[in-house]
Amino acid sequence: MADTFHVSTEFSRKILEKYRRLLHEEQAKRSPSPRPALPTQHAPALLMEDSEPAELRPGAQTNPHDYEAAEATEAVDPLNTLETIEPVDASVVTPDITEVLRHEHATLLKAVKTRAQEQILQARRERDVAVMEAREASQAYHQRIEQLEASLRAKEATLNNVQRDAAQLKELYETRQQSLIAKLTSVEEQLRSMSDGNKHRIGLLEAKCHDLERSLSLLEHEKLTILKETADDITTLNRCHEELRQKYVDLLLAMKKQRQKLTVFTAERDALLEEVSSLTDELSSLRERNESLTRELIRADRMVFGKPRK
């Protein structure tokens, strides 16, 4: 695998052209006016400078996509290409030129192999990167697929639950509808029976209404009689009220006179109380004087008779 490499057809064509040009120059040198041979130390450098492609020269920038495009268009084995170069006749080639060509051939072969190995390593790195990216993408796709499958299973389970619930609801709806129809039928029958009973009740209520109307007319007559009697009673009450009012006024006047008399009596009582108080004071003074006279008399009796008189 390491010895397998490919270069473009343009590169092989340039090598063949340079090689043929060198042969033509060597044959021209073998003519009657020979020229001095090219120095050995300068020949490889000149051949490499002219024969190397731009991407293999020092300081040139290479682009991997260019080599990939070249490989995609046409793959050529440079070993086979170099083998197709016309053989060199040893009789017309000098030893120096032969040595230069051999050295150039070895240099070109080494450069081509080196470039091919670099392309192989670059291709392997790109292949590894692509494989890694493909694996990561495959893992991501597998994870996404697993997530979608899990979501699909969950949705299928949800759908099954919804369908089961819908079937149960449908059965429940049908059952409820049948029960409602039965209830509606029974209610209609009850309404018919109740309407018949209500008709009889309405007749009874109409008869009661007539009786109540007669009773109301009697009550109205009695109310008028009661109102008249009440009016007479109110007139009597008003008259009694006026009489009581007059009596109340007379009582107020009499009470006023009694109050005036009470005021006079209160004044006389106060005067009598003052007089009684003065008499009480005078009586108290008289008692004190009597007691003092009694003591004097007892003392006089003791002085005269030696003992008090009984």
- Tokens for 292? 């003092």
| % residues pLDDT > 70 (the chain) | 71
- Tokens for 256? 């006023």
Q: Using N-to-C axis directions, what is the helix angle for 9-29 and 95-304, rounded to 10°? A: 150
Residue 79 has pLDDT above 70, yes or no: no
pLDDT at 310: 58
pLDDT at 272: 92
* pLDDT per position as a tens digit, 107-152: 888 888 888 888 889 988 998 998 999 889 889 888 989 999 999 9
CA-based nearest residue to 48, from 4, 114, 1: 114
The mean pLDDT of 98-111, rounded to a whole number, is 82
Radius of gyration of the CA atoms of the chain, in A? 79
Tally the residues of the chain: 310
Residue 243 has pLDDT above 60, yes or no: yes
Residue 9 has pLDDT above 70, yes or no: no
Q: What is the DSSP track for 88-120?
A: PPTTTS-HHHHHHHHHHHHHHHHHHHHHHHHHH
Q: Using CA of residue 298, residue 302, residue 308, residue 309, what is the dihedral sign?
A: negative
Q: Model pTM greater than 0.75?
A: no
Q: Name the DSSP class of 249.
A: H
- Average pLDDT of the chain? 75
CA-based nearest residue to 44, from 91, 93, 115, 97: 97
d(CA 155, CA 279): 130
| Residue 6, φ and ψ in degrees, nearest 5 | -135, 145
Q: Name the DSSP class of 1.
A: -
Q: Which helix or strand (DSSP H or E) is residue 280 part of?
A: helix 95-304
